[in-house]
Amino acid sequence: MPMIVALFAVGVLILIAWGVEFIGGHSGQLLLGVVVPYAAFAFFIVGFVWKVLGWMKVPVPFRIPTTCGQQDSLPWIKQSKLEAPSGAPGVIARMLLEVLFFRSLLRNTKSQAVDVGGPRLAYQTEIFLWLAGLAFHYTFLVVFIRHFRLFVGQVPFFVPPIEALDGWMQITLPTFYMSGGILVLAAGYLFIRRLINPQVKYISLVADYFPLLLIISIAITGILLRYVIKTDIVATKAFIASLFSLSPKLPDDPDAIGYMVFMHIFLVSTLVAYLPVSKIMHMGGVFLSPTRNLANNSRRVRHINPWNDPNIKPHSYEDYENDFREAMKSVGLPLEKDEE
Amino acid sequence: MAKTPTAKELFDSLTKKPNLMRGDIPEKPWMQTPVHFEKGNFAHPGKQKIIEELKFPNPREWNPVDDDWQLPDNWEEIILKGFRERLKKFRSFQVFMDICVRCGACADKCHFFIGSGDPKNMPVLRAELMRSVYRGEFKTAGKILGSIAGGRKMTFGVLKEWFMYFYQCTECRRCSVFCPYGIDTAEITMMGRELLQLLGININWMMEPVRNCNRTGNHLGLQPHAFKGSIDSLCEDIETITGIKIEVPFNKKGAEILFITPSADAFAMPGIYTMMGYLLLFEHIGLDYTMSTYASEGGNFGLFTNNEMMKKLNAKMYAEAKRLGVKWILGGECGHMWRVVHQYMDTMNGPADFLEVPKSPITGTVFENARSTKMVHIAEFTADLIKNKKLKLDPRRNNNFHVTWHDSCNTARAMGLLEEPRYVLKNVVNNFHEMPENAIKEQTFCCGSGTALNTDEIMEIRMKGGMPRANAVKYVADKHGVNTLSCVCAIDRATLSVLMNYWVPGVEVSGLHELVGNALIMDGEKERDTDLREEPLPDEVLPKKEEPAAAESAEIAEGGEG
């Protein structure tokens, strides 16, 4: 059911793009190609910054790293510096492993209860979520970088080498970029996994299917644009670059840029605007997770809690002794006040 | 009390009846599946008198099976206000509400889910119990779109769900190891329990120890003379077994070290043997230490109650260290106690500038890792002693024990104390076998009864939650003949004994220092013929070859162990 809702939502978005472009003509293009992207981008910037600042404003009262390895204790016991870091370098390395290689996800296992003449729990390595997740994120990054060619007049220096790597197979004309294909496959796997893994299916919300379907739609419209539904690349590039130089200028000929370009732009804009209010904010949040970004040195260096309440006092020894003086005396326990 | 099913029935319910662990998706979405309380699936609520004494909100006698929980009229308002406040106080809580992508990596990592197949025991869903309210009450999309945006309102049904499932989480943090963002359900459960406290929803097994600990100094409410009496009688046992007479210093001003351990070690089986181990060790090295009757509890059930109570109970440690004028504090074997000491104590009740940086008076080792908090774990302390060859040990005395090591959740995942106890263990026993990788160290499984869930009325839940731990023990018991499960946690010592009895009969539970105590060769000891449990020592270390009859009976005892 949540999947249907998400599918419906993405379908509506595609129809909107289609409809506006066909019915609206030039002003439709203006809406889809200029107004919506600018609005979406502004919303994204404000929303993202707002959200991250909002998180940073909340204090971290306690130092609570999850230790996934040996602590730093006695000098002759080998510390696991990456899994239980005790200082900034270790924490940075741990975060890099987490952000760049999804280290924690790599631990994933699948557990099953099996009857082998007696109860037995079986665990097996489950690497596909990690693999698909990694492929998904990295190909997304490559596709994003490749698009820099369109954003500015001069092609940035880092784009051609990435394109060369991405298209090393040199099949099809124009050169087939692996990244687009892998992106669709990986996102497709993550989507199908949501439908066939019973545990994941049961917890999945519209908000889980929607971004995947949206990204798949974006990738497919992009692939169609490159290989199937050709557009006037010079006019398109000029237009996109004009967007980025903040002096948007649509070509005078409304047919110069194909409808698919506007659909692609509209879907991307939706994703960009959706980002700050969605779970995709994990891209910012992962850096602020207190179980990962803190050093396991709580006994070595005192952590300060800004709202620590100094008025919370223990039940005092004095009260304790007053309660139990006779009993303590009877067994010869030392007393502060030995009186009647 | 509801009848607890047998181990076989319980396992069959997991493999033969439909459940999500097996892959059967429930017919109804989880939001439309109300919880149902019945005898056996909840722990008794806190008693009115105890709640009153602690000055906690809404003291009353109530029963979770009733339709009326006698909540304040404006309870929704109280909860939502408390929710908002905590979002502003704990970054973990705020971030964890926002960034979960529901990838499901945590789903089958929770011992309660693995053992029950109950969807709401998947860590992700446990957190969604709260996140759904966050979206439905605080977020624009959730307020307008409701369940389409994954939101729902704070209703009585939700409250019941919280009570059930935040008391089926032991804050063990295993899910947090697997989460790509480190989302820690312990943080969620802590917040959930704090919010429930605002309405007077809690369990007695947690509140009574808190009350006792606060006033009398320890969980059971042992008064000073009884506490001392309990330890003194252990000293008598030690004298019987070893011939060594030990005088334990209590509340002694000017001692070098204050020793604090869970009070269970003073009176409960099998913790008392661990206590005997500590006492023998301190005697062996001539340590200048004292115990305290005022701070006679290492454990801190406040941790499971709210952060204020955790601070209040913990504050006794420094207060007593200051009053007695000791140099530093040595902490005994405990799990959640060390979560508090390692990750919270200095922040809450420090700086302990009246203490000195801990330095072993025997080896001269400075415990740099405890430089600020000034409290050392006894496994660190003993490992250092052994490394510096300060102990006379005969590990053969433990030859009857084929030992495996249970890493306690808190010392493993909230501290990283993994190799110290193993080093000690390997020096005091000859037969040591690790459980499989995915059940030890950072991936260790909880005993299923932590966070004050070690009460008998929820035995079925406990046995389900402990199943993954038990199963890994069974694996090494079958493969290597393991008959002893050793650990550094007082709750474990009590609850794993029950768990082993249920799932892997024949495996006994011991503390680390019980095995140390067995192995220690004390100066001036008599010829020992039994271990600390007064079971015969293995033949090879028995004083001298006796007539065959005695040797035979020793063998029978050994056989009975396995």
Q: Side chain identity at B527, as an amino acid letter?
A: E
B558 band by pLDDT with thresholds 50, 70 and 90: very low
> Which chain A residue has its CA at the smallest distance from B107's CA?
A199
pLDDT tens, residue by residue, A195-244 = 999 999 999 999 999 999 999 999 999 999 988 887 888 899 999 999 99
The CA distance from B336 to B319, in Å, is 20
> Which pLDDT score is estimated for A172?
74
| pLDDT value for B559 | 39
Letter string b/e over residues B271-280, b meaning 16 or more CB atoms within 10 A of that residue's CB: bbbbbbbbbb
Q: Is A133 on the interface with B (CB under 8 A)?
A: yes
- Cβ distance A334 to B178 less than 8 Å, yes or no, reads no
Distance, CA of B227 to CA of B217 (rounded, Å): 10
What does the H/E/C string look like for B107-137? HHHCHHHHHHCCHHHCHHHHHHHHHHHHHHH
pLDDT of residue B550: 47
DSSP A227: I
Domain locations in chain A as residue ranges: 2-308
List A residues 257-296 in contact with B (Cβ-Cβ < 8 A). Answer: 277, 279, 281-282, 285-286, 288-292, 296
Q: What is the pTM of this model?
A: 0.94
Q: What is the pLDDT of residue B544?
A: 67
Q: Please report which confidence band the pLDDT of residue B2 belongs to, taking 50, 70 and 90 as the band edges.
A: low
Burial (Cβ within 10 Å: 0-12, 13-18, ≥19) of residue B300: buried
Select from B94, B104, B176 the Cβ nearest to the Cβ of A291. Answer: B176
Q: Please report the pLDDT score of residue A252 as a whole number.
A: 84
Res B546 pLDDT > 70: no
Q: Please, what is the Cα angle at A127 between A124 and A133, to 5 degrees?
A: 150
Please report which confidence band the pLDDT of residue A340 belongs to, taking 50, 70 and 90 as the band edges: low
Among the residue ranges A109-113, B49-53, B107-111, B463-467, the one predicted with the least confidence is A109-113
CB atoms B107 and A102 under 8 Å: no
pLDDT at B557: 42
* Assigned token pair, B478: 């079958």
Torsion of CA B203, B204, B206, B211, to 10 degrees: 140
Which superfamily does A2-308 belong to? Transmembrane di-heme cytochromes, Chain C (1.20.950.20)
Tell me the per-residue pLDDT of B50-101, one tens digit each, with 9 for 90 and over.
999 999 999 999 999 999 999 999 999 999 999 999 999 999 999 999 999 9
The region of weakest confidence among A106-120, A276-290, B171-185, B480-494 is A106-120
Question: In angstroms, what separates the C-alpha of B187 from chain A's closest C-alpha?
Answer: 10
- What is the per-residue pLDDT for A230? 78
| Residue B519 CB partners (closer than 8 Å, separation 6+) | B393, B394, B395, B397, B398, B427, B428, B429
Per-residue model confidence as pLDDT tens digits over A291-326: 999 999 999 999 999 999 999 999 999 999 999 999
A22 at the B interface (CB within 8 A)?
Answer: no
Measure the CA–CA gap between B238 and A248, rounded to whole angstroms: 88
Model confidence pLDDT, tens digit, residues A40-85: 999 999 999 999 999 999 999 999 999 999 999 999 999 999 999 9
Q: Say yes or no for a CB contact (<8 Å) between B148 and A76.
A: no
Tokens for A83, please give them: 């899994």
Q: How many CB pairs under 8 A join A and B?
A: 332
Q: Is the pLDDT of residue B156 over 90?
A: yes
Cβ <8 Å between A302 and B223: no
- How far apart are alpha carbons A230 and B111 in whole angstroms? 55
| A153-194 pLDDT per residue, tens | 788 899 999 988 888 877 777 888 999 999 999 999 999 999
Q: Which residue has the higher pLDDT, A272 or B546?
A: A272
Choose, out of A317, A321, A323, the residue to mutate when testing the contact with B (most B CBs < 10 Å).
A317
Q: Tell me the CB-side half-sphere exposure of residue A172, using CA atoms within 13 A.
A: 10
Does residue A26 register a pLDDT over 90?
A: no
